[in-house]
């Protein structure tokens, strides 16, 4: 009977010691996680403050460019027209000959139209009698200056 009581007291003492060690381990782990979270939060706050400073700069630039944003589509269309006209020798203000009757005409405007994958080019010309006509560039003979 004494051996049983001594054994139970030993097991109880050992379980108390192991429970105490386990609680200490968990407290240390919680404290470590807490300091780790504080460091992470401090680092995150640093980046949030840095981002907010940059977003204010971006917002101020956006406000400055807001006036020009309405002309964005016009700029894209002009770039499209200019890239399409690079291969043609015809430009507004040039003089050319019309193929059917070899009369001299003044190129008033070059119209570029089309979609995403194709385009067409037409020239608006003014004849000697003052009439305007829209013709394809193939109907013109370019006179070099």
Task: Band the pLDDT of 126: cuts 50, 70, 90.
Answer: very high
Topology (CATH level 3) of domain 89-142: SH3 type barrels. (2.30.30)
What pLDDT digit, counting tens, does each position of 3-62 carry?
A: 888 888 888 888 888 888 888 887 887 777 888 888 888 888 877 777 666 555 556 676
pLDDT for residue 138 is more than 80:
yes
What pLDDT digit, counting tens, does each position of 99-116 carry?
A: 888 899 999 988 888 777
pLDDT for residue 134 is more than 90:
yes
* One-letter-per-residue 3-state SS of the chain: CHHHHHHHHHHHHHHHHHHHHHHHHHHHHHHHHHHHHHHHHHHHHHHHHHHHHHHHHHHHHHHHHHHHHCCHHHHHHHHHHHHHHCCCCCCCCCEEEECCCCCEEEEEEEEEEECCCCEEEEEEEECCCCCEEEECHHHEEECCC
pLDDT for residue 137 is more than 70:
yes
């Amino acid at each position: 009977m004494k051996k049983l009581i001594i054994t139970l007291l030993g097991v109880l003492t050992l379980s108390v010691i192991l429970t105490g060690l386990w609680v200490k381990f968990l407290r240390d782990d919680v404290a470590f996680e807490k300091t780790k979270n504080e460091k992470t939060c401090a680092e995150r706050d640093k980046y949030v403050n840095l981002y907010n400073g940059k977003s204010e700069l971006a917002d101020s630039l956006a406000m400055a460019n807001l006036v020009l944003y309405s002309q964005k589509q016009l700029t894209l269309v002009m770039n499209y027209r200019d890239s399409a006209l690079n291969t043609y020798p015809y430009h507004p203000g040039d003089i050319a000959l019309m193929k059917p009757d070899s009369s001299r005409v003044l190129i008033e405007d070059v119209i570029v139209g089309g979609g995403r994958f194709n385009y067409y080019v037409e020239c608006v010309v003014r004849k000697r009698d003052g009439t305007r006509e829209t013709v394809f560039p193939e109907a013109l003979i370019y006179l070099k200056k």
